[in-house]
Amino acid sequence: MRRREFIRIFGGAAVTWPFAACVARAAKLPVIGLIGGGTAEQFRPFRELMVQRFGELGWIEGRNIVLEYRYAEGRMDRASEAAAEFARMGVDIIVVGGDSEVLAARRATATIPIVAMAVGDPVGNGLVESLAHPGGNLTGISLALTETASKRVELLRDAIPGLKRVAVFTNFANPLVVPEQNAVTAAAHSLGLDTITSGFRMSEDIAPAITSLKGTVQAIYVCTDPTVLAHRTEVIAAALAAGLPTMQLSRLAAAAGAFISYGPIIQELFRRAVDLVDKILRGTKPADIPFEQPTKFELIVNLKTAKALGLTVPETFLARADEVIE
């Protein structure tokens, strides 16, 4: 791909990389290529958090390290282009967001170390041999999506008295969502809930797919996916218009209007990912760095959304929440 085409795809973020990379090479500074799954604006708070953590570990951007950013905006093709570009640049480490970006990076290089900030099920999806011994050039942080799916289903049931039927909403174009999707369905059935599977293949199909669920289910469990995360406002708006509460992983979704979120503290995962980058920069091979699991989870309830949907959330449930948005 010509440089001008890459800039057109990724916007101004790509403008300075040749100069920065050349300067880094001349000064022998390590270059870290970061691929965010969403937009630049969505990634901005995490970018600032990561720069801060790098600084705490002694890595100052522009002084003894160079950080290059690309944003996939929920699109696999853009993640692939970014990973391929980083491989051609010969960056020292590639840092990626979720499963799709991991796949893109793995296709681009088998030698450059890859650190994943938030992988759904690295073992179940065949990305690593085991959490303790990942092997190859990949390490990172697992979201433990499959292991915690049953907890999210249970919380959704407890939050909506009388819940009987749930839609499992997924990206049919992303096979890496299947382990969570299957875990959700199994957990729902074990709790006596009926399920239907719904979803999309293109981002423009998200809203129509959710709209079609109106009157057929009482709630939606949204499986975690880069496209869903990048288009979370559309997901939430469509669900609210259809009168359906959603359960999602990220507090970002709850803050944007989702009914409930339950998952790891994302900021903590990003900081820990920087710690793994630090280990590699200091000589440890990614194959020897165990994949880490989340240690802190948070339950967020958007009471404002509940009231808009006419839901009465039990006080006992609200007392369990780490945060109630009113």
Q: pLDDT band for 16, please (50, 70, 90 cuts).
A: very low
Contact indicator for 206, 181 with CB cutoff of 8 Å: no
| Domain extent for 61 | 3-143+266-288
132 shares its domain with 154: no
Residue 194 shares a structural domain with residue 310:
yes
Strands 260-264 and 297-302: antiparallel
Check pLDDT > 90 for residue 97.
Answer: no
CA dihedral angle for residue 185, residue 121, residue 300, residue 305, rounded to 10 degrees: -50
List the beta bridge partners of residue 61: 65
Is residue 176 within 8 Å of residue 125, measured between CB atoms? Answer: yes
Instruction: Give residue 27's pLDDT.
Output: 59
Going by C-beta distance under 8 Å and a sequence separation of 6 or more, which residues neighbour residue 225? 98, 100, 170, 171, 174, 177
Do 226 and 159 lie in one domain? The reply is yes
User: How much is the pLDDT for 230?
Assistant: 84
Give per-residue pLDDT as tens, 218-243: 999 999 988 888 889 999 999 999 99
Residues 275 and 133 reside in one and the same domain: yes
Whether residues 104 and 81 fall in one domain: yes
- Using 50, 70 and 90 to split pLDDT, how confident is the model at 145? confident
CA distances from 250 to 56, 162, 264 (A): 26, 25, 8
Q: Are residues 111 and 230 in the same domain?
A: no
Q: Do 176 and 303 reside in the same domain of the chain?
A: yes
Asked if residue 93 and residue 240 are part of one domain, the reply reads no
pLDDT of residue 12: 44
Distance CA 83, CA 29 (A): 20
Please, what is the end-to-end C-alpha distance for the chain in angstroms?
A: 48
Q: What is the mean pLDDT of the chain?
A: 89
> What strand order describes the sheet that includes 165-171?
194-200, 165-171, 219-222, 246-248, 260-264, 297-302, 323-325
CB 78 within 8 A of CB 11: no
Among the ranges given (173-177, 197-201, 207-211, 304-308), the one the predictor scored with the smallest mean pLDDT: 173-177
CB-hemisphere CA count at 13 Å for 276? 31
Q: Is the pLDDT of residue 104 over 50?
A: yes
pLDDT for 14 equals 43
Residues 86 and 42 in one domain: yes
Examine the pLDDT at 116 and tell me if it is beyond 80: yes
Question: For residue 182, is pLDDT > 50?
Answer: yes
Q: 68 pairs with which residues across the strands?
A: 33
Q: How many structural domains comprise the chain?
A: 2
For the residues 144-161, what does the mean pLDDT come to? 94
Instruction: Answer yes or no: do 203 and 177 share one domain.
Output: yes
The reported pTM is: 0.83
> For residue 118, what pLDDT band results from cuts at 50, 70 and 90?
confident
* Residue 220 and residue 86 share a domain: no
Residue pointed to by tokens 């099920």:
121
Both 182 and 302 in a single domain?
Answer: yes
Where does the pLDDT of residue 172 fall: very low under 50, low under 70, confident under 90, or very high at 90 and above?
A: very high
Domain harbouring 83, CATH code:
3.40.50.2300
What span, in angstroms and rounded, lies between the C-alpha atoms of 264 and 267?
A: 9
